[in-house]
Amino acid sequence: MDRQAGKKRAGEEAAKYVERGMTLGLGTGSTARCFVDALAGKAADGWGLRGVPTSEETRRQAEAIGIEIIIPDETTVIDLAVDGTDEADPQRNLIKGGGAALLREKIVANAARRFIVIADKSKRVAALGAFALPIEIEPFGWALTVRNIRAVLASAGFDGVGVELRAREGEVVKSDGGHLIIDCALGRIDNPANLDRALKAIPGVIETGLFCGMADMIIYADETGVSIDQA
Ligand code: 5RP
């Protein structure tokens, strides 16, 4: 499977749902990048698009093609949010956060009138969990929070699983908001909504990468075509 071709096609397909004057939630990652790329012509043609980006990386890309970047206030209506995913199950539950943007992504997806997920077909799974679950946590007292995460995981049936502070090339990874990411190798998550609730109850846990019941539509694509999963 040519995954990059799938990402590009999914991004182009999602761009068909964009209308003039819309305020868009803009996701993060290589697939979300394809969606923003697909908006370049519309932005150049004066469609008056405004964007709420979920990362600095996406903000730079969107700004460069002429999308007006806005900081949302209480009156902001996000018409449509479009984002990638790391995994998606048949109930349209997701694991996100591979790009450490999960908190902002969840805030924006939750606020949007419609949330469309775009993915190459490799992201479709029968059950979530092969991709390590990212959890965004507060740096203060982080090791204590990790101890509690291990305890909650153990009582949910995930005793002794890998729980790691995310680091790249020897550097601890921080989200744009300055938080840490903990990756949990769970294997298979049978009840993602319950696990999300249990993890969120731990002081120090800011957000989890489980997006349950949020996606209105998932656009899967590969080099041969597109398939749509929606309620
Ligand atoms: C970033 C995310 C991304 O949407 C997810 O990691 C998918 O990324 P990609 O499109 O590069 O495969 O959740 O926090």
Q: Which residue's alpha carbon is at the smallest distance from atom 6 of ligand 1?
A: 98
Question: What is residue 1's predicted lDDT score, i.e. its pLDDT?
Answer: 75
35 plus 106 within the same structural domain:
yes
77 plus 176 within the same structural domain:
no
Sign of CA dihedral 168, 125, 157, 149: positive
7 plus 53 within the same structural domain:
yes
d(CA 172, CA 217): 34
Q: Which residue's alpha carbon is at the smallest distance from atom 1 of ligand 1?
A: 99
**Ligand 1 centroid to residue 98 C-alpha, Å:** 5
64 plus 111 within the same structural domain:
yes
Question: What is residue 225's predicted lDDT score, i.e. its pLDDT?
Answer: 96
62 plus 120 within the same structural domain:
yes
110 plus 26 within the same structural domain:
yes
38 plus 54 within the same structural domain:
yes
82 plus 185 within the same structural domain:
no
CATH code, 140 = 3.30.70.260
15 plus 46 within the same structural domain:
yes
Q: Where in the sequence numbering do the catalytic residues fall?
A: 105
**Ligand 1 centroid to residue 29 C-alpha, Å:** 4
CATH code, 57 = 3.40.50.1360
**How many domains does the structure of the chain reveal?**
2
**Ligand 1 centroid to residue 128 C-alpha, Å:** 15
152 plus 113 within the same structural domain:
no
pTM over 0.85: yes
Instruction: Find where tokens 């790009």 sit.
Output: 99
Q: What is the mean pLDDT of each run of 10 residues along the chain (231 residues)?
A: 95 98 98 98 98 98 98 98 98 98 98 98 98 98 98 97 98 98 98 98 98 98 97 84
60 plus 94 within the same structural domain:
yes
Domain assignment of residue 14, given as a range: 3-124+213-230
90 plus 69 within the same structural domain:
yes
Instruction: Find where tokens 């970047």 sit.
Output: 69
Q: Which residue's alpha carbon is at the smallest distance from atom 10 of ligand 1?
A: 31
Sign of CA dihedral 18, 208, 72, 37: negative
Measured from the Cα of 209, ligand 1's closest atom is 13
38, 67 Cβ separation under 8 angstroms: no
Question: What is residue 117's predicted lDDT score, i.e. its pLDDT?
Answer: 99
